[in-house]
Structure 1
Amino acid sequence: MNRIPELHDAIQDLSEALDRRLVVLDRTMRVVAYSIHESPEDRLRLSRILAHSDSWDTPATAHQDSAIQVVDGVGSVVMYRLLGADRHIVGHLMLSMAEGPDAAPEVDLVTGNRLGRISRLMEVRDSNARSLLDRSSSLAVDLVALEDERRQGAAATLLGEEIFGASEHYCAVAIGPGVLDATPTDLGRVEQAVAQTIRFVNDTSTASVIGGVTIEGTGVLIFPRPVVAPRLARILSRPQLAPARAGIGPLAPLDALHDSYRRAGWALRATSLAPADHPVAVHFSDTGSDGVLATFPLDGLGVADLPTPVRNILLQKKTRPWAATLEAFLENAGDIQRTAQVLKVHRSTIYYRLDRLTEVAGVDLRLGRVQRDLHLGLRLARLAGFLEQPVVSGR
């Protein structure tokens, strides 16, 4: 959508006038346009530029019109800054150093004002990109709104204006601060996480994604394909985005995308409430019972609302810290040896604690119904924050 035909024509015209191969890079040093590269040497050089340009250092052109850089696999190049109307750099024009005594192409380009048209076209491109980003941001939020009219209008606009590619199924992602008592800084990272994910997709592929942030502060991402959770997790694991986390909804038709987003929100809540048990980005289908428990009004839940055996355990100062022992025992299907290994204590310690816990709880741990109620009650207690969360390693 950011392709400006006039920019490519202007580059080709200038290339032919200079009889040199040219490349245009944006402010992030990503290639956005280039002239025809005919010879094998030119094509090889271009392939290297396309593969590595966005990893280069920004040219030292803040106070001068051009700078010479030596690039591995490419050689010496001249970088000409492209200035917008406000005198801010909007990109760079790159060409290889000329050979021989006439190796001063920058004189012709600068004094002849040949960069002006390319600079103006880069401004147009940036303006179009910002406009599209702002528009797609609001449309992404509308696509998952509760109101049918908003969703239908957004879908018609996205497909009608070809802002988004048509697909049989789409996937919604909910991004949150990852903590219950979010600070303004934490909430700000949600917006950064949405922006960086969109930028990553745009910079590393030809795939499409749109996103925005709801009034409530939850990030929304819409993909016209399945989402690879580990890849999204790598983006969110960047230090500047911590502790942001994401829930990924199931694939759904465009007119049912709000259902995908609803489940994405449950997955987000599950991974935020139990970060030690779920990855930074998790599919709703992988949250198990936590994804369903996350739909409960846990914020208003009190210890008194839990099943009686669990309540009795948590209200006793002696047994409350041992609730994790009972959790581990139940999660390991009653295997004492395995439970001892997980908790790194002796088996006799496990036996002693379980005896005391069942005595306080007033239950027979051999009964399946009792185990079910204890397991569910303890899980609710952990998600509601009544039990200390394990340390999360590596997010």
Structure 2
Amino acid sequence: MPGGRLQDVVDDLAERIGRSVAVNDPRVHILCASRHFGDEDRVRVRAVLQRDAGSAAAGHILAQGVDRWTAPGVIPPRADLGMRARLCAPIRWRHHLLGLLVVIDPDGDLPTSSIDAVTAATHTLAPLMYQDFAAGDTERTAREGALRQLLDSSDTVRETGRDALARGGWLPSSRYATVTVATVAADSPADHGGAAEVALRTGLERVAADRSWRTEFCLIGPHGVLLTFSDRPLPDESLGARASALLEQARSVLAGTAQCVAGIGETADGGAEAAWMSYEQATGAARTAGVRPGGDDIVHWEQLGALAPLSLLPPDRLTPALLPGPLRTLLAQDPSGRLTETLTAYLDHAGSAPRTAHALHLHRTSLYYRLQRITELTGLDLADGDNRLTLHLGLRLHALMG
């Protein structure tokens, strides 16, 4: 980007309107800023000094839907962040959002002439920023596209991706690869879809910035995908810490408006060419996060046990048709969920009545009554191994259905 000319536009605008001005990229990372005009706040000072306004401030700005704005709008203040109100104008070129022109406006008293000057400045900045955006976007698109191919289940597609990464000089030579998949379960996809992508990319970028790890990342559908390459298997604790950092960044950007979960696949011996297996496992593990006992938001594939193969079923195939008939009958006759909870605990404890009663804080007589009622409703003898397996798998599937 022609940084000198970009800075000149920002400085000229700031002098004309007498306010502190900054240009951020679409993820609210500062690109350049004018001198202070006595209106600076804690967020701006941090952004200028550290080149980063912080995830909470970025999340607050993104939560206003700025990625969809086509004209200047107001970012309300956040006293808890030490953040004053701002006028924010999108910088667009051919419908691409290139950045955000931000002006400190604590009292909302910018005159119309100053707002017009801000709008005019976005038109001047857009062509200056587009050339570098296009070049960087082309490389990023090619690299992420090749990574997506590398993780495909098809041998042919994976070979194409491997060749593309090799030609670009991006193919890691490490022996081991581990994939982490993070996803954002937005309360309202219409409201959070764009913000979710920004949140995941922000988290991926910040985790990948740790140069002690060889890392690649991409977005695949609603998932943020982090590939960690190493010359030796990495401890689960280290992989979990990276996943936790990724989710923390994403949550901060989303300001708590959506649930974030992650799955971690097994470490694949075979490096980049075997990463697809770890990716599929991580996707399945992420799908189970929050539905397993304990409700963990980070799940390792190897923790899933019998649930592991079920987690790889396509989401559109997870319908009640998969549930065994006797279990559907039980669910229909158990609106409170008490019997279903009892059956789950009984099967999870390998049919041990003492351990089940202890886990449910039940008197053993009450437990036997419930088990008898379950037998009557399902028509299945719970002492039979096949019946137990049928019901246990059905309960696991039911949990995956949410």
TM-score of the pair, normalised by structure 1? 0.58
Please say if 1:224 is aligned against 2:229: yes
1:168 CA displacement:
1.6
- Contact (CA 8 Å) 2:181, 2:224: kept in 1 or not? yes
Q: Give the match for residue 201 of structure 1.
A: 207
Alignment partners' CA distance in 2, 1:286 and 1:186: 30
Please say if 1:140 is aligned against 2:147: yes
Encode CA deviations 1:127-177: one digit per residue, 9 max, x unaligned. Answer: 987765454333322321355555334323434443354212222333323
- Contact (CA 8 Å) 1:137, 1:212: kept in 2 or not? yes
Secondary structure (helix, strand or coil) at the match of 1:145 reads coil
Alignment partners' CA distance in 2, 1:314 and 1:249: 32
- Contact (CA 8 Å) 1:193, 1:244: kept in 2 or not? no
Segments of structure 2 that go 5 or more residues without pairing to the other structure are 1-23, 38-47, 52-90, 92-98, 101-130
Work out which of the residue numbers 358, 375, 384 in structure 1 matches 2:392.
375
- Contact (CA 8 Å) 1:278, 1:287: kept in 2 or not? no
Which protein, 1 or 2, shows the higher relative CO under an 8 Å CA cutoff with sep ≥ 6?
2
Work out which of the residue numbers 254, 275, 282 in structure 1 matches 2:299.
282
Q: Aligned partner of 1:328: which letter? A: A
Secondary structure (helix, strand or coil) at the match of 1:206 reads coil
Alignment partners' CA distance in 1, 2:334 and 2:398: 16
Alignment partners' CA distance in 2, 1:127 and 1:341: 62
- Contact (CA 8 Å) 1:319, 1:357: kept in 2 or not? no
Q: Give the match for residue 210 of structure 1.
A: 216
Encode CA deviations 1:152-207: one digit per residue, 9 max, x unaligned. Answer: 3432343444335421222233332347x861445445533542343333444332
Encode CA deviations 1:94-152: one digit per residue, 9 max, x unaligned. Answer: xxxxxxxxxxxxxxxxxxxxxxxxxxxxxx99998776545433332232135555533
Q: Give the match for residue 192 of structure 1.
A: 198
Alignment partners' CA distance in 2, 1:171 and 1:313: 40
Percentage identity across paired residues of the two chains: 28
- Contact (CA 8 Å) 1:197, 1:232: kept in 2 or not? no
Structure 1's 308 and 203: CA in aligned 2 closer, same or farther, altered over 3 A? Answer: closer
Structure of greater Rg: 1
Encode CA deviations 1:290-320: one digit per residue, 9 max, x unaligned. Answer: 2211233564455465223323212214685
Secondary structure (helix, strand or coil) at the match of 1:228 reads helix
- Contact (CA 8 Å) 1:208, 1:224: kept in 2 or not? yes
Work out which of the residue numbers 279, 284, 299 in structure 2 matches 1:261.
279
How many residues end up aligned between the 2 structures?
286
Please say if 1:156 is aligned against 2:163: yes
Alignment partners' CA distance in 1, 2:390 and 2:50: 70
- Contact (CA 8 Å) 2:147, 2:165: kept in 1 or not? no
Secondary structure (helix, strand or coil) at the match of 2:225 reads strand
Encode CA deviations 1:213-271: one digit per residue, 9 max, x unaligned. Answer: 23x33332222134712431243143445422222223143223323322222222222
Alignment partners' CA distance in 1, 2:284 and 2:383: 33
